[in-house]
Amino acid sequence: LDILPTVAAACGVSTSEALPLDGVDLLPYLNGEASGAPHEALYWKLAEYSAVRVGRWKLLRESRSGIARLHDLETDPGEQHDLSAEHPDVFQDLSARYAAWDRSLPPRAWTNISPIHQMK
């Protein structure tokens, strides 16, 4: 979530190292002072789905089924082909990165959350 650090920097507000923000200031990327990607990896989690993306590779997991798929977004932007068997080293690397990131998160404030499609 790069919005808060970026807005804080745009307003001239310094952020505290005692309470680090989740994200980076994107202003240097927006005004041309920095190039490349602001993050080495992108992680996300939504309901039963979670993913990590590094460069061209994306690992997508579904927690209920336990299925994990590896996609090459340069050759398969629609994420139609699972390449985990063809690239086990990439699959393992992204799995380890995701696991480390997930362990770094604070516990959820809620424990009983149902996906919207299960709500009545």
Domain positions in the chain: 1-38, 42-104
Nearest partner of 79 among 61, 97, 63, 65, judged by Cα: 61
Coil vs helix vs strand at 112:
coil
Please spell the DSSP secondary structure of 20-40, one letter per residue.
--SS---HHHHTTS--S-S-S
User: Which one of 3.30.1120.10, 3.40.50.720, 3.10.450.50, 3.30.70.980 gives the CATH number of domain 42-104?
Assistant: 3.30.1120.10
Q: What is the pTM of this model?
A: 0.75
Distance CA 100, CA 40 (A): 14
Query: What phi-psi label fits residue 43: left (phi over 0), alpha (psi between -120 and 50 degrees) or beta?
Result: beta
pLDDT tens per residue across all 120 residues of the chain: 788 888 888 898 887 776 677 788 899 999 999 988 888 899 999 888 999 999 999 999 999 999 999 999 999 999 999 999 999 999 999 999 999 999 988 887 766 666 655 555
